[in-house]
Structure 1
Amino acid sequence: MKVSRVFIGFWWISFSVLSAENNPGTENSTAADSSAHIHISYIVKTGIGHGELNETVDINQESDVHTFSITSNAQATGIFKIINPGSIIRSSQGIVTEKGLKPTRYSDQRTNSNSSLALFDWEKEILTLKHGTEEKQTPLQAGTLDRLSLSYHFIFSCTHELQAGNLLGIHVTDGRSLQLMQFKISSEKLSTPLGELDTIVLTKLRNSDDKIQRKIWLAPDYHMIPVHIQSVEKDGLDVDKMIAELHIDYATDITCCTQ
């Protein structure tokens, strides 16, 4: 995979999204065949064992709208698989806008545990959260993301907010609750299986009663793809995800626009 090809593919899709946003009444024929498929494998380390995580991001065009679908499948490996044979499957769907990802549905399914679901009604500005047999509705704040789309939102959003020293506030849901997360932006060199990378780091700031920790390393050389994620979950479990493999495929028909 060549980085230059990655930039060309994503640049063309981003251009197509902007064209559709700015010309909603016309058919965007220049992006008639624009799509992208990202597959990332992560090595997962926790306080109780190791695992593997595979995530895919698909960007497709439907009429003059680009849609996204993200799927995440985590499962234990080795001896830990005997202790914890289940899996965690998360998914997020929505549309790609000039401001980034705008989810419409998020789900979190776990073996032998209650599932969680978030439904985003942007027209009525209502977020519906379902966990097991419980269901509640809460006002849907502008720019709300789910925990899965959060990691990939910055591929398609403006990066001027990601300047070292800045603070970034984002409403994030996990399907059970909605939380305003404040991230401090910094930069760091990071050693990865892809080599040493310059990264932009988002570190979640915590309140005294907030158990959730999160730190995300984004790689500008790979169009802001998350290459490392550290978190402490509500149950106190430490999770470390480091990228192991990255594959990007895209299909664009840009011959119409060459001179």
Structure 2
Amino acid sequence: MRRALLFAFALFTLPVHAADLKPFTASYTADWKQLPMSGTAQRTLEKQPDGSWKLSFEASMMLASLNEESVLRPDKDILQPVSYHFERSGLGKSKVVDLDFDWNEKQVIGKDRNDAIRLPINRGVLDKSSYQLALQQDVAAGKKSMTYQVVDGDEVDTYDFRVLGEEKVDTKVGQIDAIKVERVRDPTQNARITLLWFAKDWSYLLVRLQQVEKDGKDYQIMLQEGSVDGKAVKGS
């Protein structure tokens, strides 16, 4: 239920400036149309005492839960992941992923379920959570198409995005002016649809996400409340 937020970072990456990052916290309602009730989700970005940043996501719905955490460290003009943790339990198969990024040796090591992972990596590769900061930064910079690369299981995979335009999103905190972004896929290979909306006036905080699976299952999160750099998010 969380795959929609797990993406990638570009092979020839555009710089993500650590100085541009602002701490945030956001809570969401989470709806899965195949289930009779809603759940909740929370996403936070915090600066750590050692200068690194921690990006966290938690979601729960009925008996299902998901936790994801990425620790990143600034390196000149980009952010480099230090570690990544993912844990899913409840509906479907349980899954645990732990990765450590060794930039001196240019490799990532860890486990995906019970499979050992050891992959060579190049500067700029991110994990399946920290891509989000790069995507937010690229949208904020006015880019219309983005290509990303991510450590995904036992390989490094590539994903594409494109900006569809501006759209107003009705949330619990009011109407938010947002940039609508689509995950670009080859429909002959993958029929999943993923759409994301980023708030223009709030450092491009994610305010809505919708994913429709190839079997028609529909999952969505919508902003309930949030703050960016200590200021409460408010719409019109």
Deviation of the 1:56 alpha carbon: 1.7
Residue of structure 1 equivalent to 2:151:
173
Alignment equivalent of 2:73, drawn from 95, 114, 139:
95
Counterparts of 1:97 and 1:158, CA distance in 2:
21
Q: TM-score of the superposition, structure 2-length normalised?
A: 0.74
Closer, same or farther in 2 for the Cα pair 1:212/1:121, shift >3 Å? farther
Deviation of the 1:210 alpha carbon: 2.9
Q: Which amino acid aligns with 2:159?
A: M
Q: Does 1:226 align with 2:206?
A: yes
Deviation of the 1:189 alpha carbon: 1.6
Counterparts of 1:15 and 1:118, CA distance in 2:
23
SS at 2:223 equivalent: strand
Deviation of the 1:42 alpha carbon: 0.8
Q: Which amino acid aligns with 1:59?
A: K
Q: Which amino acid aligns with 2:180?
A: V
Q: Which moved more, 1:234-243 or 1:111-120?
A: 234-243
SS at 2:52 equivalent: strand
Alignment equivalent of 1:111, drawn from 85, 89, 92:
89
Counterparts of 2:178 and 2:18, CA distance in 1:
27
Q: TM-score of the superposition, structure 1-length normalised?
A: 0.68
Q: Which moved more, 1:125-134 or 1:234-243?
A: 234-243
Q: Which amino acid aligns with 2:210?
A: Q
Deviation of the 1:229 alpha carbon: 1.5
Q: Does 1:130 align with 2:118?
A: no
Q: Which amino acid aligns with 2:185?
A: R
Residue of structure 2 equivalent to 1:241:
221
Deviation of the 1:237 alpha carbon: 4.6
Q: Does 1:40 align with 2:26?
A: yes
Closer, same or farther in 2 for the Cα pair 1:128/1:122, shift >3 Å? same
Closer, same or farther in 2 for the Cα pair 1:212/1:108, shift >3 Å? farther
Q: Does 1:206 align with 2:192?
A: no
Q: How is 1:157-172 mapped onto 2 (pairs within 5 angstroms)?
A: 159-160=140-141, 162-163=142-143, 166-172=144-150
Residue of structure 1 equivalent to 2:6:
none
SS at 1:153 equivalent: helix
Closer, same or farther in 2 for the Cα pair 1:236/1:101, shift >3 Å? farther
Residue of structure 2 equivalent to 1:28:
none
For these two proteins, the number of residue pairs brought into alignment is 208
Closer, same or farther in 2 for the Cα pair 1:238/1:198, shift >3 Å? same
Q: Which moved more, 1:135-144 or 1:86-95?
A: 135-144
Counterparts of 2:124 and 2:22, CA distance in 1:
23
Deviation of the 1:244 alpha carbon: 0.8
Deviation of the 1:201 alpha carbon: 2.6
More helix by share: 1
Residue of structure 2 equivalent to 1:120:
101
Q: How is 1:38-77 mapped onto 2 (pairs within 5 angstroms)?
A: 38-49=24-35, 50-62=38-50, 66-76=51-61
Counterparts of 1:100 and 1:174, CA distance in 2:
20
Counterparts of 1:212 and 1:122, CA distance in 2:
33
Closer, same or farther in 2 for the Cα pair 1:185/1:97, shift >3 Å? farther
Q: Percent identity?
A: 21
Counterparts of 2:194 and 2:99, CA distance in 1:
20
Closer, same or farther in 2 for the Cα pair 1:196/1:39, shift >3 Å? same
Deviation of the 1:87 alpha carbon: 1.0
